[in-house]
Structure 1
């Protein structure tokens, strides 16, 4: 990972005890963002703590939060324009398996 913004976000998520942090580079694919970061929270309240930390750390750096979907503590989505962050509880991450979906979607595009 050579993108300083991505490295910073991943580092901060890790410091706040997010688990299984994945960064998927989609910059060469036909997708709505260049990068997707997926992280697992320890519990529902932890997803909100991770979101609060992202706001606290990124807004002073000039990051624009274009949209935040926080209706469910089990899956929070943060849109930073070219980076999409998904914060899941373990059950929802397993249930929706976003990594596998993205891999399947882009293997279809290449066929």
Structure 2
């Protein structure tokens, strides 16, 4: 796994994010090469994790876009997407199943 993904995962892990998963979609039919998903403890923790990422990744990483709500934050780094969700939203939207299917299609190609 590349150093950028490892740094993102490390920042999330050190700041109490849970169930961190990385999906390698490089070379597949998805618009990002990697997707990182992590669960926050609650809404305040979701925003705090975003702040930790901003402090830990800048100036090396350029944040192209950030879509913020208390339950779900999506960070666009271009080739990497980071999703931080409360457990309720993570369960409701089940991104893992969707991304696993994309990764499986990529592996078959």
State the TM-score, normalizing by the size of structure 1.
0.90
Deviations 1:52-111 (A, max 9, x none): 011111113x210000000x1101000000000000000000000001012234556869
Which of residues 81, 84, 91 in structure 2 aligns to 1:84? 81
Q: Which runs of 5+ in 1 are unaligned?
A: none
Structural RMSD (CA): 1.6
Distance in 1 between the 2:21 and 2:15 partners?
A: 15
| Count of residues paired in the alignment | 108
Distance 1:103 1:53, change over 3 A: same
Structure 1 segments of 4+ aligned residues over 2 angstroms from their partners: 103-111
Match of 1:103 in 2: 100
Q: Which runs of 5+ in 2 are unaligned?
A: none
Distance 1:14 1:34, change over 3 A: same
Deviations 1:17-38 (A, max 9, x none): 0000000000021111000000
State the TM-score, normalizing by the size of structure 2.
0.92
